[in-house]
A and B are shown apart, each in its own frame.
Chain A
Amino acid sequence: MPAVDDLATLMSRTALHDRAAFERLYRATCAHLLSVAFRILNNRDRAEEVLQEAFMNVWHSASGYNPVVATPMTWLINIVRNKAIDALRSGKTERGSTVALDDEALEIAGDAALEPQRLLDDSLTKAHIDACMGELNASQRQALALAYYRGMVHTDIAEAMNAPLGTAKAWVRRGLDKLKDCLQAAGVAA
């Protein structure tokens, strides 16, 4: 991810409708943000639509961004992720009956069950909280990974993991409790 200071400057210039800064902000963050949307939607076309919509928002509401509350990347990820989740849920019926199979989707479908878990493990390692989070069992970690990377709700998770709904909810809750504790212990986030 790009340096935080640069993004903060680009954000504040974008808020003043500086087009050059807006383009640099886009160029600096789009590949990471598209990846966020793509994990959730599993379809490049739809993920790119979401990315474009998100940057429409960024242009219009960058002045509402408050650097005291969030880092620029957190603010941007949140916009993209929410839009991707909305798109996922509004297109659910359609998605159930049609499967988009471009190359990347095939690649992902190949290890659909493993990929979120791997992304989670890699992130935890990078944040040096892998040992702490290792105290969770595999199901708890998988439930958290499916919710975050795939944008799944409890019923989706229960179905994907072939578990009762109450159990899926408890796994997510436990995963979140632990995430907060581990980050706090590592001093990574508040």
Chain B
Amino acid sequence: MESIRYEHLQETLYYEVMDNGLHVYILPKPGFQKTYATFATKYGSVDNHFQVEGQEEVKVPDGIAHFLEHKMFEEPTGDIFATFASHGASANAFTSFDQTVYLFSATEYVNENIQTLVDFVQNPYFTDQNVEKEKGIIGQEIDMYADNPDWRVYFGLIEAMYQKHPVHIDIAGTVESIRTITKEMLYECYNTFYHPSNMLLFVVGGVDPQEVIDMVRSNQEQKDYKPQGSIQRFFEPEPEQVGEARREAKLAVSLPKCLFGFKETDVGLTGEQLLRRDMTTQLMMDLLFGSSTRLFQKLYDEDLISDSFGHEYNSSPQYAFSAIGGDTKDPDQLLARIREEVDAIVEKGFESPDFERARKKKIGGYLRMLNSPENIAHEFTRQQFRGGDFFNMLPLYESITLEDVNLRLREHIRWDQLAVSLVVSP
């Protein structure tokens, strides 16, 4: 077992790589009642075309990673929620573009719960019958999202931007695509992506790191994993340009929803470089669109935006884009005003006092996040899969300069890379 001390955060992280390749990380939080654990695979909705070294190339239906997540909860002995409940653990899971995460939080029987988490995810049980049954449940989940305007406007933006890359495919797939899923396909995906060498276990809370690591090691030693070659993921080349400049969906809403963003052309970054660019971009967007900016206040006073107006930046080594917007009575007027105001800011760049203040805010937000075991586990895992270090963000924030942010501003705000997504009432 190794450890890293992060003095500036007063935190120590313990870790070990198991013989079968599983990465295990423990962050003790003395005084915390709760233990929160995530068991994650670097496998999400975008991984629909792949090949394991020495094996056949495989293409799978849309929504299968999410389908697999649902099905993992079923064991020959019944539903795994019941086992967790017997030990007072609240369990859940989620699937994103590039990872699937299983988790629990509990205040007692911590060792038993960690074992349950690891064992159920490492024990797939798919039958023709239980796969069919799940199609009804996921069909209802898909319908629920279809009625949700925030989801529709967000996905509409990605669909407008991305023409080839599977990030534009809804994480749950469609009712039609999931209909074609079979237990054989699920096993194929499972065997590829749930190999321990593609997975990460993170435990945070009032635990003894040595005890947890020893327990996980002995658990893994009892399982007979053969070494697996590297996984190659295939993505069709994505054009630089957005697919459509504007996309519109009809759904009953009190006010139109308008989300716009810029598709990044320079992709391929990984690790700390990617993390640093994310942080710089987020800082830049906060300076441009944050609720304390003059632009935000002007648009609010002009009754073009509301408290719902926000921004985010989403990236991976293959894609990156911003998403900005909210409810507005007049999307065209909002976009015209933003273009006018933003051009003037891009021309001048940001000023030092504003930059320093925005950076302080980001540092504060980061430190606040460290109160939350959930946030720590999720962000750490996400960064680790991309080669970045969540616990090293404070020095990175300190190293970002005004020039970096101004450069990012000019790079990212390119109107030829703009896409707009709207949800309006029929």
Are A and B genuine complex partners? Answer: no
